[in-house]
């Protein structure tokens, strides 16, 4: 069936994904963990393409957490190398499909060559208006919030900001996601039911979809299933179901 014929209503404007389960997927197949990460890259391709196709406007993928630096050096190296290749290979594709790349996280902690490719892809796609693709790399939500609070405190002590001006919008404006809306839908693959320090501020009213499917098995149809499940949720934002129905 063509995607255009699929009943997807509404399409979430912003989808965030914790891409988990690569290592276990590989271990189940008696292969090294990096084999799972490689297969996971194909899931990234499939999900980015599908998101663009159905009209998602912002897609945020948790690719590497600040905590992931504690993994064995060999695995970290392998992940960085996969990331670099992904960015190099996908640049043309992103431009063709009008996808703008951004990085949420501590770019300066990434290896120099990865940092460079990332900057290049971000610069070359800056005018793309079809979809924003945010890769969370060396990302940790608490660190992000603290940096935002520090920036606000600096402005207050310099006298350019008054304490009474601090509100939710101002903190949002001082996070990596500053000019983008909060996620409507969070997907976590791999069977774990936790947030793992991901977008703690931004996810405050997101719908959450957990699936046992390991990330390398999460492709187009699994993604569409999650989007359809989102369509069946009633987002009440504190109101009653009755209030929403009488609207």
The least distance separating ligand IPE from the CB of residue 217, rounded to whole angstroms, comes to 12
Residue 168, Cα to own-chain centre: how many angstroms?
Answer: 21
- Asked about 184 being catalytic, the answer comes back as no
Counting contacts by CB under 6 A, is residue 104 touching ligand IPE?
Answer: no
* Binding residues for Mg ion, total number by CB under 5 A: 1
- Asked about 68 being catalytic, the answer comes back as yes
CA–CA gap between residue 160 and residue 154 (Å, rounded):
9
* Binding residues for ligand IPE, total number by CB under 6 A: 19
Counting contacts by CB under 6 A, is residue 176 touching ligand IPE?
Answer: no
CB closer to ligand IPE, 174 vs 197: 197
Query: Which of the following is catalytic: 9, 20, 134, 197?
Result: 20
Count Cα atoms within 13 angstroms, Cβ side, for 210. Answer: 7
Residue whose entry in the numeric block shows the structure tokens 């839908």: 185
CA–CA gap between residue 153 and residue 161 (Å, rounded):
9
Cα Dmax for the chain: 60
CB closer to Mg ion, 70 vs 108: 70
Counting contacts by CB under 5 A, is residue 211 touching Mg ion?
Answer: no
CB closer to ligand IPE, 68 vs 81: 68
Which one of 14, 20, 133, 218 is in contact with Mg ion (CB under 5 A)? 20
Residue 214, Cα to own-chain centre: how many angstroms?
Answer: 17
Beta strands in 68-145 (DSSP E): 99-104, 131-139
**Local structure of 7: helix, strand or coil:** coil
- Specify whether the CB–CB gap between 223 and 15 falls below 8 A: no
According to CB under 6 A, which residues from 50 to 79 bind ligand IPE?
Answer: 62-65, 67-68, 79
Counting contacts by CB under 6 A, is residue 24 touching ligand IPE?
Answer: yes
Residues with catalytic roles = 20, 68
Residues that bind Mg ion (CB under 5 A): 20
> Would you tell me which residues interact with ligand IPE (CB under 6 A)?
18-24, 62-65, 67-68, 79, 190, 192, 194, 196, 215
């Amino acid at each position: 069936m063509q995607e255009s014929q699929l009943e997807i209503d509404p399409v979430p404007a912003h989808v965030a994904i914790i891409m988990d389960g690569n290592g276990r997927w590989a271990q189940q197949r008696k292969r090294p963990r990096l084999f799972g990460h490689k297969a996971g890259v194909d899931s990234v391709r499939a999900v980015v393409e599908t998101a663009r196709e159905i009209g998602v406007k912002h897609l945020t993928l948790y690719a590497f957490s600040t905590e992931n630096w504690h993994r064995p050096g060999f695995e970290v190296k392998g992940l960085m190398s996969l990331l670099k290749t992904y960015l190099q290979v996908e640049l043309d594709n992103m431009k063709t499909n009008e996808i703008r790349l951004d990085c949420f996280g501590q770019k300066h902690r990434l290896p120099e060559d990865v940092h460079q490719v990332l900057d290049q892809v971000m610069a070359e796609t800056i005018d793309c208006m079809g979809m924003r693709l945010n890769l969370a790399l060396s990302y940790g939500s608490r660190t992000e919030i603290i940096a935002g609070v520090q920036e606000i405190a600096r402005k207050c002590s310099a006298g350019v900001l008054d304490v009474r001006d601090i509100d939710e919008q101002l903190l949002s404006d001082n996070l990596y996601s500053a000019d983008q809306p909060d996620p409507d839908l969070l997907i976590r693959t791999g069977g774990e039911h936790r947030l793992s320090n991901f977008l703690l501020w931004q996810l405050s009213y997101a719908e959450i979809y957990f699936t046992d499917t390991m990330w390398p098995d999460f492709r187009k149809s699994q993604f569409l299933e999650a989007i359809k499940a989102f369509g069946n949720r009633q987002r009440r934002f504190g109101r009653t179901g009755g209030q929403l129905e009488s609207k």
